[in-house]
Structure formats: structure tokens, C-alpha cells
Structure 1
Amino acid sequence: MVLVFIFSFPILSDTCPVPYDVLHKLRNGGVVTVLKNQKKISYLEFDDSFFFKEGLAKVKFKGKIGFIDKTGKFVIKPSFIYASIFYQDLAIIHDNGKLGYIDKAGKIVVQPQFDYGYSDQNHFREGFDIIKLKGKFGFLDLTGKIAVEPIFDNADYFYEGLARVTLDGRKGFIDKTGKMIIEYKFDYAKNFSEGLAAVLIDEKWGYINKAGKLEIQPQFEDADSFDDSLANIKINGKWGSIDKYGKLIIEPKFDEKYKFRNGLALVRLDGFYGFINRNGNMVIPNRFTDANHFSGGLADVKFNEKWGYIDLLGNTVIEPEYDDSYYFINGLARVNSYGRFGFIDKTGTTIVYPVYNDAGYFFREGYVKVKMNNKWGYIGENGNLAIEPIFDEATDFQEGLASVKLKGKWGIIEKPNCQ
């Protein structure tokens, strides 16, 4: 009989707050600022630094953009005037006033040839990104090939297999081969959602299907895309909702458009905010001067110049005592009391006392950045300091790392292990 022993070794915790020594060292022919703690040395040598995504972070070094891995090693040497973050393994680069694409090895997949003017960010949607060449718009696929030739005056992304394009001042729709599916004949159009798209004809909005046939006749002053079988429409300056048959479900009487979340929508009526259900009934009366959507079963509302929180029945759960507030995320919400920031839980118990000049909106990977005496540091979800406020700027932790700035330069620090 063979006995197998499995030993489990505890992950050693850091001494928190993690102490950092700020040093200066010669590196690459110059003097750089160095952060040293009990486990690692971090060099602050970048002109700018961004968050990690898909294992890489964009950095600016000596005026050029490159990408580093989580060890701080350059995977793509800094050689670009500009680069976007990676999305689906491709990033946009700028070279000599033109846009191209690189892969994660830094290889140029699409030579810089496209014009500025739509977006410098990489926004592939349904497998395609928008390109602009010689003043005309088309589409690029994920292999880096031009899938739809740039012949359009404007274009939007693909939604439900169709993209809204403009030709000679009129809107229509194409498929992913570039074939015209719906004739370019509309004054304006919005993207398809749930099989229908809002279109403007003779200054009135209606809805078409994917064959271009009018399903709901043009009759509205404005119209939004369908979401969960309802769409906002505007009549006589007020907003209501219709179903996919054009039947009026919610009477147009609200001051602003609205969106349903978990069965309720935040609406403004007669200058005050309340909440309606999908039948249009005001289930939480409009008595708040401002409000936000529900998150985690609570919504922050403003009453008599102060913010508090209500539950789904409209009951006050946390009294209005804050100058500003934010959504609950992972059970905690940022609040502002007399210009100082802290965090509370859903019972209103103070978890992080409002003593900070500023703070991130929510905890990410167990930590949030906080500002004290014009310096940024980090605290854990128990409210204890994890990293002393010593940085001029800082980002949230993402993929276990954060970017920090000190003495004009950026570097990367690891997420602490505070128990």
C-alpha cells in the first residue's frame, strides 16, 4: 500500500499597511525612483501607465507607447505614438497619422493606413470594427481583413447582424458581407434591438423589422430601442412606453426617458423622482429631488438635500444624512459626509469612516484607493490601511496589479495580501 501525504502550506500574509521605501537608483543611464517593500522592488520609470487587461498593460516610456507583462518586462517595445488597449487580441496603433492594428506579440497585423475620425479605441462588436479610409467608412474583421469596403459616409457597429450606415445623407442597413439589406432611405435610424429598429421619417419616429417593413407607423417625437419588450417613446414632450405591437403600455407623462432594471424604472414626474413598475404604476412615490437605480436591493435617494437609501418597497433603510452617495457594489457603498469619503454596508453601519479626501467608487479585488493629504493609498474591505497614502496618483487593482505615480513617473505595484 502506498501512502500519499499532501501538505498544505499557508499563504503568508503581508505586514499591513505594506511599508514602502522610496529610493533612487541608476537605471538605463538615468536616475529612477524605486519602491521597495518586503517582497519586491518596483521601478517608477514610465511617463504614463494604464490598467492590466488580458495580461498586458499599456505604458508610455520616453514619449512612446508599448506594453508590459505582469513582471514589468516589455512584451511590445515602446515604439508607437499611440496604442489602444487590447481587445480580442488586437490593438489599434498610430503611425505617421494613420491607424493600424497589432497582435499581442507586437506584430503589425494591419498596416497603418486608416484615417482618424471615428474612434481611436478598439471596439470590435459581433466580430467587426469600424474603419475609415479616405473619408469613407467600412468594416474590419478579427483576422485583420477588410470585410466591408469603406464606401459609406458614416457607419455604426453591428447589432443583431445588421449595421446602420449612411450613404448620400440617408440611413440604411447592411449585413456582414456589406450587402444592402434595408434601403438607404431614412432621415435617421437607431440600431436594431429585439428585431426592431427606430427610424425617422418626415420628422416622426416609427419602427421597422429586419426586412425594412414598417411594423409601427411613424408617430412619435422621439423613440428608443426596445429593451425587454418595451421601448421609450415621446409624445407631446413626455415619455412613456409601447410594446412591440405599438400598443401604449405606459402613458407618456414623464419628464425624462427611463430604463427598467429588475422590474422597476426610475422616473421623473413634476420635477421629482420615483419608481414605476412595468405597468406604469408609481410603486414608490415621486418625492425625491434626485435618485439612482436600485443595486443590491437598495437605491440611493436624495431628500431635503441629503442622500440615504430605500428598499424595493420604498421604505427608508438608511436615513438621509450624506452629502453624496453611490451604488452598493459587493455589499458596500461609497458615501460623502461633509466632503469626506467612506463606505457603509447595507444596514447603514460605517465600515470605513468618512475621513478621506477622495476614494474610488468601489472595492476591486478586495481593495479600494483612498486619498489623504493629497496622496493616494489603499484600504481593504475591513477598512484597514493596506498601503499607506504616498502616491500622487493611483489606479484600481486589476488582475492583481495597480499603476501608481510618484515624483512624475508611473510604475506597477502588486496587490497586498492583508489578512
Structure 2
Amino acid sequence: MRKIAHDCDVLVIGGGIVGLSTAYAITRRAPGTRVMVLEKEPGPARHQTGRNSGVIHSGIYYRPGSLKARYAVRGAAEMVKFCAEYDIAHAVTGKLIVATERAELPRLHALVQRGRENGIPVRELGAAQIAEYEPQVRGLAAIHVGTTGICDYVGVAGRLAAASGAEIRYGARVVRVDRRPELGVAVETADGAVVRARMLVNCAGLYCDEVARLTGDDPGMRIVPFRGEYYHLRRPELVNGLVYPVPDPAFPFLGVHLTRGVDGGVHIGPNAVPALAREGYGWNVVRPGELGRTLSWPGAWQLARRHWWYGAGELRRSVSKGAFTEAVRRLLPAVTEADLEPAAAGVRAQAVLRDGTLVDDFLIREGARAVHVLNAPSPAATASLPIGREVARRVLDVLADG
């Protein structure tokens, strides 16, 4: 076999929290492994990692035995420990999940059972007991989940980057991948630079499916971007901690919720609407090529046909502040339109199958000399340390085999 000079052993595409956790896990498990991270932005955590509500999820929502359930439960404890070790802002606050309508009570009880199956401590509350935690919140019943917390995920990403010892190249957008299983991969960036590696890891988030296709692998899914729209609460004293509605089990979205962050401010959201670009953080951001590729995916149309009524409600809350306020008032009756100030939006990289199925679990697939992380939206930040270890295990197994 012809020998070539590799610039690194493992090349990670994507400098979000999952990519950086993977780099960290590889160098921890196999010291001396040369790892490089390519990130197209000028710094880490500029998209999903840095544009979420900062919640350390307990894992209560996720199907027992799933990767999300196992990694979120394990990851929540590890994230708190990591933040404490590196002096990153965080707090274990607990949260309330509140039923405001009778139809939600069976779903609330199902969450209690799911929490217990996942090993999560849950306290059931009657209407009067809600005020023990949140005096301004109203509901018929609630559960308190004690292991939920908050942290600064941008700070976590920065610390992972530093602690990994990996070489990180910012402003390096990948435009071409040449993979030869017997030799490795060669990746070209937009500035013409070429990086050669023995193994490629695709943690490209919003563009993970496109990177997979650049390698020649068929991901079998398409990222359909959903924008999460947030408001700041001008009267943060109305909320003590974290308050969530009972989610609809048909969707991966958790509904409009209230989150007191590490800075003391309260975020409300997200509302979830289709984005017109993969980094479409407002209705004014339209990238026709990306939108066309989304609309050409049969799964996008199947999804729209199946869930148009749910989507119509989300769109209504997007264009009407009054409708958004109405949704918030179900949990927090004291809030008014004047209390809500628009905040920065995020975009969820949601994998959708050809038949319109929303991929519910984390999705990690392997190709020749490549590992692709193809679905890692929330709670991926919470679960990033276990995800990184899983990807590292797969990568190092391949490298060990030569």
C-alpha cells in the first residue's frame, strides 16, 4: 500500500460542542492521537451550541433505552461535574413541568413513569404545591424534576477546545472531500488548503447531511431546519427557575417554556417554525439553494402534510406577538405583551427521513474512514460528553484496525 503523509490522525468537521467533545474524548482515551478540528466560523459554538436556552436536561422526556435517554441522564451529571471542575457558570435548579389543561394530565403522568424508568427523581405536585416553587405559575398539576440545571455551553465548548489539545482551524469551510479507504481522506477548504487525515468525523450540525454526501456516503436523511424564536422577559422576577409545559409526544419540540439562565435573565421560547435557510435566524434570511434542497426532499412534504395544523399554530405565534403572549399566559398569567422583548433566535438541525419521519433519537452512522453524527439536536449539548466518547470509541476502533 502506498504511504502518504497525514496532517493528522483524526479530522473533525464542526466546532460545536459535539465536535469539540469528540476531539476531547479522543485525546483523553488515546493520548498522542493527532486531532484537528475544522470550523467554518471565526470561533466555536456559533450555531446550535451557542443559540439555545442553556438547559442541562435531565433526560425525563426520552424513550427508555434510547441514546437520548441514556446519554442525557449520564451527560447531565457529567456536565455539572465538568462545569464545576473548570469553573464554568452553572446551577442545578430543578424544573417544573406543568399541566394547564385536563387533557394534559395523562401525558404528565406518563412523564412521571418515564422519569422513573430512566432513573430520574420526580416529585408530583398538586395545583396548590406549584406555588412552592413558582408563585406566579398556574396549573392543574405539575412534576418537579430535581436534576435539571443550566450552564454556559459556549464556555463549555471553549474549555473543551482548550483541554483537548487538538489543533483547531477557524474560518475553514469544507468544500470538497476525497476519500480513499486504503489511504484515508483529503479535505479541501474554501481557501484552497488541503488537510489529509487517516479518519474523518462529521459533526457539522446544520450541514452534516451535506458533508456526508461530500464523502460519498448516503446519509438516508435530510436536515430540515426549524428556527426557535425567543423573547426576553422584562420582569424576570416573575420566574424563579425553569418552567415547561407538557410536551406533545408526536414532536421533538418541548413547547414554549420559561428559563432563568446563568446570567439571571429569563428566556421565553422557543417557538418552532421552518427556517428558510440552514442558518436562517430570521424570516429575512433566505438562501434559495438551501431552501430548494429542503423542498426537493420528499420527507419535507410528508412532514408538512402530516403536521400542518401544529405548524400553523407555530407560524401564528411567530408572526403575532399577541398569540405568543397568549401561549405564555397559559403558564404565567401575569405576563403581558409589553413584558416580552425579542431575543436572538436559534435553528434546530432536525433530521427527517424520506417518508417524513422526524428522527427522534441521536443518529450516528459509519462509512469507510468516516463517522457521521447525523442527528444531534437538543439534548445534544447536555449529552455531549457521552456522545463524544461514543464517537471516539468508533473512530479509535477503526484506527486500531489500521
Q: Give the TM-score normalised by structure 2.
A: 0.21
Q: Give the TM-score normalised by structure 1.
A: 0.21
Which structure has more helix as a fraction of its residues? 2
